[in-house]
Amino acid sequence: MAALSERSGIPVATVKYYLREGLLHAGERTSRTQTEYDDTHVRRLGMIRALIDVGGLTVAHTAEVIAAMEDEAAPVGEVLSTAQRSVSRFAATTTPLSREHARGDLERVIDARGWQVSVDNPGRAAAVDVLATFDHLGGPDYTALVQAAAEAADLVAETDLQTVLATTGGREEMVETVVVGTVLGDVLMIALRRMAQEHHARKQYP
């Protein structure tokens, strides 16, 4: 385990914790006191740290995602759903809002894009809360912002899928691409938006 710790850069105590929590698969026991770990363990540790440190997932949510990945009977779409729900645990607003109008607005956006979206997709409730909050606060018309966000999301999601389909390493590589792309892709989109906002603000207000 010391060698695995050195290769991965993760402390032995943390590696042991991931083993206990089921995030990391067991090594091959070669004797009563010796266990061997290989490249798959190094790769898994890298993914675990990426999901937790960069993606912001908790250990429990990371374990859920990994369990779905390791279930070979689970379709890739089911793994995607698990990853989405793990990264999309939006806090419900406590502000009393009227959501009926917001739901209608969201349905019009979905229809305009021609999206096929399940009723329990975690993005639905979150989007409704955001749109209802826009209405509650008043101010400018956010229609153009919502439409632009939907158009950008459509393009990114299509590229997400093409990236998954381009994998050549079989199911394992495919589901890893789905999980990492979903979790880290969300963080990337926020980061790029912050940079783009600064760019356009500097153009407008040099």
Angle at 143 between CA 155 and CA 157, to 5 degrees: 15
Give residue-wise pLDDT tens across range 142-151: 999 999 999 9
Strand partners, 36: 28
Pseudo-torsion of CA 160, 161, 165, 168, nearest 10°?
A: 30
Write the DSSP string, 136-150.
HH--S--HHHHHHHH
Confidence at 198, pLDDT banded by 50, 70, 90? very high
Give residue-wise pLDDT tens across range 176-195: 888 888 889 989 999 999 99
> Could you tell me the fold of the domain covering 1-54?
Multidrug-efflux Transporter Regulator; Chain: A; Domain 2 (1.10.1660)
How much is the average pLDDT of 50-66?
Answer: 89
pLDDT for 203 beyond 90: yes
Specify the higher pLDDT residue, 14 or 73.
14
User: Which parts of the chain are beta strand (E)?
Assistant: 28-29, 35-36
pTM (two decimals) = 0.80
The residues spanned by each domain of the chain are 1-54, 55-204
How much is the average pLDDT of 96-113?
Answer: 90
Give dist(CA 195, CA 183) in Å, integer.
20
Give residue-wise pLDDT tens across range 122-161: 899 889 999 999 988 888 889 999 999 999 999 999 999 9
Give dist(CA 183, CA 194) in Å, integer.
18
Give residue-wise pLDDT tens across range 74-100: 887 887 787 777 776 666 665 667 888
What share of the chain in percent tops pLDDT 90? 55
